[in-house]
Structure 1
Amino acid sequence: AVALQDHLVRSLSLNDPLNNRKSYVSPKKSTRKTKAVSKIDTGVKKPTPKKTLNTASHEKEYVIESRSKPLTLAQKFGIIDTPNKPLTEEEWARLKDKSNERQDSSLPCPICQEHFGNQQQILLSCSHVFHRTCLESYEKFSGRKTCPMCRKVEYQKRVIYEGSKINRVKCAIKIQSAWRGYVVRKWYANLRRTMPPKNPLLRQKFFQAKLAEITDTLVSSVNTDVDAFLADIDSSVAASRQIMSLADTSYDARLNENEWKKIQVQALRRSTLECPICIAPIEKPRASTSKSKNGNSKQLVILSCSHIFHQVCLEAFEEFSIQATKVCPVCRSHYVKRKLDLAAIAN
């Protein structure tokens, strides 16, 4: 009974109240004299050697050897089994393969539920894997050395880096996918710039963009003064207008009687009923008289463009017009005017 009680006390990490007393020992003062060493500061920093990280040596697996506890009375008498012997490398390899078959390193840590990443892992003798910091915290705050998964007691621990290897593979895959995506997008953009699409609407936009690009290239390559260029255009347009106005007036001045008769016939065929300026009615031609019943009919004027107006209306329009040359109020063409006698035409 005493042996079993001693074993339970030690396995449960319970303190014996009788052995909890500690004798007070006064701290000894050190009598060793230290020599003062003078240092001269030259102001020049010594070059620090660069640290090169060797992955093979940095990720070397090793077994964490815990201090072996002394055997209890129950273990000495054979009542309780003695602790297991340290595992060999072959046994650790089999445990590691068993853990890899379950893909424990690819899954999150069972304690913190986060991926292992580049942190150290602990492989227990029961083939379960945890973060090293998580397992040490669990052992510290639980007060027991039992597996958080299967509750195995007195396990052995080994540091492995399977999660770090998997993390490097994932990072390499992400880098490769990002680079390949960049290359493909660049190739596709170049293809869109060089090959016209088959869709008619997209094809039209493609050639419009090409034309705009060529135009911008030409404009940027030519160094001209825009103001001088626009001034030349204005002067050429003004000269063209002057030449056309002279041509129109010279043509109108050469109209003979036959041409005027044709213009009058064309105007009568149009059957204009009102003056385009004052919107007042125009009297139809009569054989007897050219005056209306009221005796106050307005004098009519016909233009070389075959439009008919009241003489008073046309003179008022010409007076208030701001243009240098005379243009027809209807068709805006240069004209030569002539009085129109509807009675004579009717006869």
Structure 2
Amino acid sequence: MLLVLQVLLSCSHVFHRNCLEAYEKFTGRKTCPMCRKNQYQTRVIHDGAQMYRARCATRIQACWKGYRVRKWYKHFRQTSPPKDPKLRKKFFEEKLSDISDRLVRCCDPDIDGLFSEIDRSIAISHNVFHQLDQKCNPEMSEADWEKIQLQAVRQEILDCPICIMPLCPNTEEHSRPSGRPAALLSCSHVFHQSCLQAFEEFALGEGLVCPLCRSPYQKKIFSY
């Protein structure tokens, strides 16, 4: 409202020009709304507009100077360590933390690629151990497997030691296949093939050993 034209009356009162014109039109006579003086003279003044512009300029300058000072002070805090030992220690801790964060942001680690490389390395190690076991332990003959099978029968193992479920189907269901082949190990222990396979996959990177006696083994798959 301070940018609206103002008029100064000869009686020293000041009004907006449009307000004074509306008042004169409403009353039908030329009288000061304040002191009721008749036949006054008017003069357009710009004191209010100048004051408003000065206040706006002052506020803009204050905001700009405040921004400059805050920016300078922030730069000063980042580049000038304090003299107090505790504050100096905190300053360098924050500096080191900021540098570490920037280094982390600059890096783009491919976590999925790293995990894939680890999985490939483990699989290669597993194959190497498996080949080594095959070289150290030559294939067993059928006669050896028959002896091991007889030894397993004497042990009367009815349940898989891993899942604690029956190795062979019930007599009532004997007419249909169980769907779970078994694995006979060279140490005469018997497991479900799927259970033993899961155990072998879990033990990647290690030599294949029996889950019960922890001895290296060869295996033979059969069905009841």
Would you tell me which structure has more helix in proportion to its own residues? Answer: 2
- TM-score bracket relative to the smaller structure: 0.3 to 0.5
TM-score when normalising by structure 2: 0.48
Q: Which has the higher contact order (CA 8 A, sep 6+)?
A: 2
